[in-house]
Every structure is written in structure tokens, then in C-alpha cells.
Amino acid sequence: MSKNLSELSGRKGLEDSLFNRMGKLAERDGAPDNTELDKLAKEFLVGSANTYGTTTFYDFLKPENKGKKAYVCNGTACVCAGTQDKVKEELSNHLSEDEIGHMTCLGRCHENSAFNYSGQNYSGSALNELDTIIKKKDGVQDTYNVESFEYKILTEEFSSIDEYYASFKATLKRDSAEVLEEIKLSNVRGRGGAGFPMGLKLGFCRSVESETKFIICNADEGDPGAYSDRYLMEQRPHSVLYGMLIAGYVTHANYGVVYIRAEYPDSATIIEREIELLRAAGLIGKDIDGSGFDFDFKVIRAQGSYICGEETALINSIEGQRPEVRVRPPYPAEQGLFNKPTIVNNVETLASLHYIIEQGGAAWKAIGTDRSSGTKLVCLDSFFNKPGIYEVEMGTPMSTVINEMGGGFKLPVKAMQIGGPLGGLVPVSKINDLNLDFESFAENGFLMGHASVICIPESMPMIDFLEHLFDFAAYESCGKCFPCRLGTKRGHELLRKANTSDYKISKKLFKDLLSTLEEGSLCAHGGGIPLPVKNAMEYFEEEMKGYFE
């Protein structure tokens, strides 16, 4: 059935997509009217249940969103920092309870106290200017430390469109198969967390015969603690757009979709502006620079759903379907958006291609380790003396990242969750055992993911953290497979009951629950959440044992 819906959704193409139309219907009141949804269903030849079921899934389309004026960040970094109760209290002095909602991480992890008012994001000391913000509705751009350690590639300052895209024009004169081999030589791996070799993925898509193919930039950076994608889109947008053009050239794709999470309004505005500059420079559109290569962009503004960071759920989202994870195979490279071959790559992965094309695949491969090449952006949260974004060579000791670059901790910290909610829970005692690369983390029983760092202070009970983690996982589950849909909720219930009463959790039951999530979940959302829980049970056994039989 979903294949048919994909075809129906694609009838009008990207310019008049079902998902964008749903978003337009919500602009006035915060959620679409059911009568308008029925009309939309008829126009796209789908059932009313499809449009209703889709819109009620998203935070910013569902009926409960009507009338909301402000949203409080409930991302893990802000929760661990303990700043959000004050944010709610201050907003409540100006707005009614019904006018305040929540957002999951605004990418302001470096200073916390994050909230959104009237479509603009605020954090840090902005809370002290709430009266002015509510009267003027002006955005306040945050600032954070950005440094490179030895190599300055992703953080390199932008020159000019003519200079920056000169290598792209030169590439258009090369055989695209030769360019793909250069990317494969670099061994650049996916920076979104999975670490799959980019060149292999591009090669799969290239080998499929189809008149229509898509390159999707997955800018749905929903992992709390991460704001490197936001940095690239807002301060280095052309690195991302350049990468998409190159990916399109080597796969014979003519369409690029930048799917940007709703919590990053500035990112979407900036990317749209820079796309028009490329259009004016003749670098996108038909027959680019007389090469015969056609390519154009479409920005999709998401509507609030963490699971859309999973590539197949993201594809369903663009099509106007419920963002549920698809069963694979077929993989998106064979059958993705509108049933056409599709590449989905993370923002940082695409941004790496400028250096690889200009300097060659061997130059990128020479940086880092044999299996984890190149540089990586690392996000450090507000518990560091020098929070911010650091560009680090793969293989760098984590002790260097934390103590030298981040300046150590401001307050006593007992553990760090690295790589988002599905990343491992690393006790501070393990810092000296880890290097910043995929293999080091895996060998030590953790997951590097996208390498964002959220600190858990000594003052925060570990069971509070795990309860928050399961609450997040249950709320953000797409609901398609029952191990994740039921298992994450059951995990939250068990931990909450043990945390608020004399109830003791059965160790056997809890282990069975984690095993079911790991082995039975359709994607990494349910399958990955047990890792930090197991880490907590191993390294904080003494603290946790009072909650178990």
C-alpha cells in the first residue's frame, strides 16, 4: 500500500508536495483543519485517514498544537543542566499554560535555557530579556566557540561563490565515474552515526537505471547534544550544497532535497537564501555551465519528529505519509523517494566532499585512522569550560578533546552520553581509554555516533537520566514495530515506578525487555536505546541496584 501512496504523492513532484501542503494548512492556527485535510486527500487521491493520520503524528501539525505561542526545549542537554523549570516559570508569567508547548532540542546545548517564541529560537541570557522578546519578537543569534585542532577543513572560512565552486565547474568536465572513485578512495564514512562508506552508497544508486533520482540531505539533526549540522547550515551552507551537487553528478541525480528540522528555523532561511545565490550564479538549473548536467534544490521544512532522522522515515515524511520506518530491502538507493533511486546523506557527510574533490581522496584518507578517515565535528555542551564545536582529526584521544579543547568540566560530572540517545553512556573513568573513531568506541562497548557530548552531573541520579531517556524513546517512536512501540513505554513505566515508589524491578524481566528491543526492533531507534541502559547498569551498578530485586 505504501508503494501506491508513494506514487500518488509523487504525481505533482517536489514543488507541490503533499507534505508541504500540510504544513501550509497549519500556518494560521498551528494545526490543519479537518475539512481542509479532506480536500487535500481528494486532490492527491489518497484517503482522509492518510492525511489525518499523518498530521496527527507531528508535534507541529497535531491538533494539540493549536494556539501554541512558545515551546520549551526538553532536550537531554537542557534537562541535565536543570535550566528548563525556570524557563517554564518565566514564560508562564506572560503566557497561559495552553499557549506553551515543548520542542525536543533546539541545538542550543552550549548554553541551555532554550525556548522558541513566535518562530524564533532563544537561549542563555535571552530569558532575562523576555519582556522585550515578547513585545518585539526579534530573534537573538547565539554565539559559541568554534575551533579546529590541527586540520581546518569543515570549519574553513568561506571565500566566494566563484572561488568556492571553481572545483565544481572543473569536476563537470571530468568523467563522473572517475569522481566517484575519488570519493571511494577517501573512505569517508557517514557522519550521521551509522558510519557507512559514502562512496559505496553513491555507487549503489549510480548503478540503478532510472530517469529520476534524488539526493536528500538529512538535516533532521534531532539528537540532543548535537548542533554541528546547524553550524554547517547556518555558517558554512555552501559546503552542504556543494556536496549535494557532487553527489548528484556522480549518481546521475537531478534533484536535491534539503530536509531541515522545524526546530532550526534559521537554518532553513539561510539555506533557501544561498540556493537563490547559486541560481543567480548559474550553478544550478538546466545544463549547468554547458555540461549537460541538470540539478536543482528543494528545501523541505520538517514538522517535529525525531524518527525522521531515520532515512526511510524521512522519505515517508517528504511523501506526506506517516514517518514510519520502512522494511529493507529494498534500500533507498534502489527504491526511495516516490519509489525512485535515492541517496540520503547527513549534513556533515556531504560537507566533507568539497575538500575531497579539491584535494583528492588520498588527502582525506591520509587524515585520521585507516578505517576512520578525515576530520570530525564534535559538540561539547555547557558543562565544559569551553563549550562549542571542535573539528578534530579522527583517532584523537578523547582526553585531548575533553581536557585540552573543552577545557575540562565546570562542575563534577560522572558520565557522558556521546552520540545522542542511542549512543553509549561513558563514565568519566573511561575517558583515557577512548579515541575519537568508530572502532575505539565499538571495542570499548560504546557508540561514537555523531560524537556530540552530553554531560550527566554527579548531582543527577542515574535512574532519573534513564527514566528521561526511555520517556524520550517512547514519545519519539514511530510505532510501526511493537518491540519499540511497547518496549520503550514499558521501560519508562518500570523505571518511573521504581523511582517514585518502593517497587523493585525484576532483573530478568528488564534484561528480557532490553533483549527484545535490541533484536526485534525494525530500526536503530528501538534497537539502540538498550546500549546506554546497559552501560549504566554496568558502570553504575552500585547506584542502580537499589531499584532492582
| Residues contacting residue 334 through CB under 8 Å, at least 6 positions apart | 204, 205, 208, 341
Q: What is residue 1's predicted lDDT score, i.e. its pLDDT?
A: 43
Q: What is residue 141's predicted lDDT score, i.e. its pLDDT?
A: 76
Q: With contact defined as beta carbons under 8 Å apart, do 139 and 266 qualify?
A: yes
Q: What is residue 16's predicted lDDT score, i.e. its pLDDT?
A: 87
How far apart CA 270 and CA 193 sit, in angstroms, is 25
Domains and CATH numbers, the chain: 2-65 (no CATH), 70-143 (3.40.30.10), 146-365 (3.40.50.11540), 376-455 (3.10.20.600), 462-547 (1.20.1440.230)
Q: Is 215 helix (H, G, I), strand (E, B) or coil?
A: strand
Residues forming a β-bridge with 256: 215, 297
344: which 3 cell numbers?
540520503
* Weakest-pLDDT range from 101-110, 129-138, 486-495: 129-138
Shortest CA distance to 182 belongs to which of 238, 254, 240, 250? 250
Q: Let me know the angle formed at the C-alpha of 149 by 226 and 197, rounded to the nearest 5 degrees.
A: 60
Shortest CA distance to 314 belongs to which of 324, 304, 328, 329? 324
Average pLDDT of the residues of the chain: 95
Between β-strands 214-219 and 255-260, what pairing exists: parallel, antiparallel or unpaired?
parallel
Q: In this predicted model, what pLDDT tens digit does every residue of 431-490 receive, in sequence order?
A: 999 999 999 999 999 999 889 999 999 999 999 999 999 999 999 999 999 999 999 999
Phi, psi for residue 59 in degrees, rounded to 5: -55, -40
Region 310-326: mean pLDDT is 95
Q: What is residue 242's predicted lDDT score, i.e. its pLDDT?
A: 98
Region 409-436: mean pLDDT is 96
Phi-psi region of 426 (alpha: psi -120 to 50; beta: other; left: phi over 0): beta
